[in-house]
Amino acid sequence: MSRTFLLLIAISFSATIIVGQPTTIDTLKPEQFIKTRGGLNDFYAAIAKNKNATVAFLGGSITYNPGWRDKVCAYLKEKFPDTKFHFIAAGIPSLGSLPHAFRLQRDVLDSGKIDLLFIEAAVNDRGNGTDSITQVRSLEGIIRHAKNNNPAMDIIMMSFADPQKTKDYDNGITPVEVSNHELIADHYHLPSINLAKEVHDKLNNHEFSWEKDFKDLHPSPFGQELYFEAIKTLLQKCFDNASSPTVNAILPSPLNRSNFSNGKYVAIDKAKFNPKWKIVKDWKPSDKLDTRDGFVHVPILEANQPSASLSFSFEGNAVGICIISGADAGIISYSIDNSAYKKMDLFTQWSSRLHLPWYLILESGLKNGKHIVNIRIDETANKESKGHECRIVHFLVNGER
């Protein structure tokens, strides 16, 4: 056997071993997708010095479902065993920044002094088609409302992942929802986590696949752990660099003066309505469609005939309605201060299979003051709807408390 032949065999064998070895990937670190900005100095003082802290989680289904939220609670209790924690789970599936702005008082702030607030809305803002201006007004409204309630409240803003955001990043575009979350976080010097970017970049880095590992915008246990690790990294980094707590903090000027910082619910019995409306004190569906917690066995103002009309007087600069939109949702016409009537379809892409809590702004950016809105059920209806139903759970007003 020639020396040349033996050399070729050796080279071939060596190449086979090298090719057959598992390749290692330099994984991207969570630190690359977090911004600590002003940190969590007040929250750290509450847990490390006062030994008493309340943490609230405001978001949609990804906050409502088991997963990262439970892991954060367990982490805090383990890291600070001498601190008494109170956790408020204020996640409601399908809800984004607009609903959060108007439900913040009742669902979070009425529970007492909040030391840390987690906010996520980017996924549902995209899914619900919330326009960019409304996103900014809502997110800024949440921050200003929360900080006016307790200037020492620390807030973390989070942008979760969905396929549309991944596609935006693939096309070199920062998703509008992420941009708005970061815009508000930067203006108010708040910590933020861009989990949408982390998921995208890790997918491109071949660290996992969406189909086999992450699986859904409602993350699998794998995805929940990824979210938790990023949040824990942010928390630990803020704790390691904690400084003196806030003293006499002053909010910066608002980015949008029509923000919903005074968003609130107004009871349905404040309206004046003709006999074709009725108040149902304990509403539940007569069909078999699913409902959302907090939007069943509640009072509603209901009508299903085109001639049904109501009027509602309010003081502020924005007005809307929170409705339950099912398979029979109709179309309304409305007028502000006797202006020309506009139509609004109450039927959504999910209404045929779910009695969905749906928040609609009728008018915003009004001059602060007294106004009146007139609403009537329209004769027309969405071609997919089975009726003309309007079920109002709350009126929405951005006005003085």
pLDDT tens digits, 312-346: 999 999 999 999 999 999 999 999 999 999 999 99
pLDDT tens digits, 84-132: 999 999 999 999 999 999 999 999 999 999 999 999 999 999 999 999 9
pLDDT tens digits, 382-396: 999 999 999 999 999
CATH fold of 263-398: Jelly Rolls (2.60.120)
pLDDT tens digits, 19-60: 444 456 789 999 999 999 999 999 999 999 999 999 999 999
Please report the pLDDT score of residue 7 as a whole number.
Answer: 43
The domain segmentation of the chain, as residue ranges, is: 30-240, 263-398
pLDDT tens digits, 212-271: 999 999 999 999 999 999 999 999 999 999 988 876 678 999 999 999 999 999 999 999
For the CA atoms of the chain, what is the radius of gyration?
A: 25
CATH class, 30-240 region: alpha beta
CATH topology agreement for domains 30-240 and 263-398: no
Please report the pLDDT score of residue 5 as a whole number.
Answer: 42
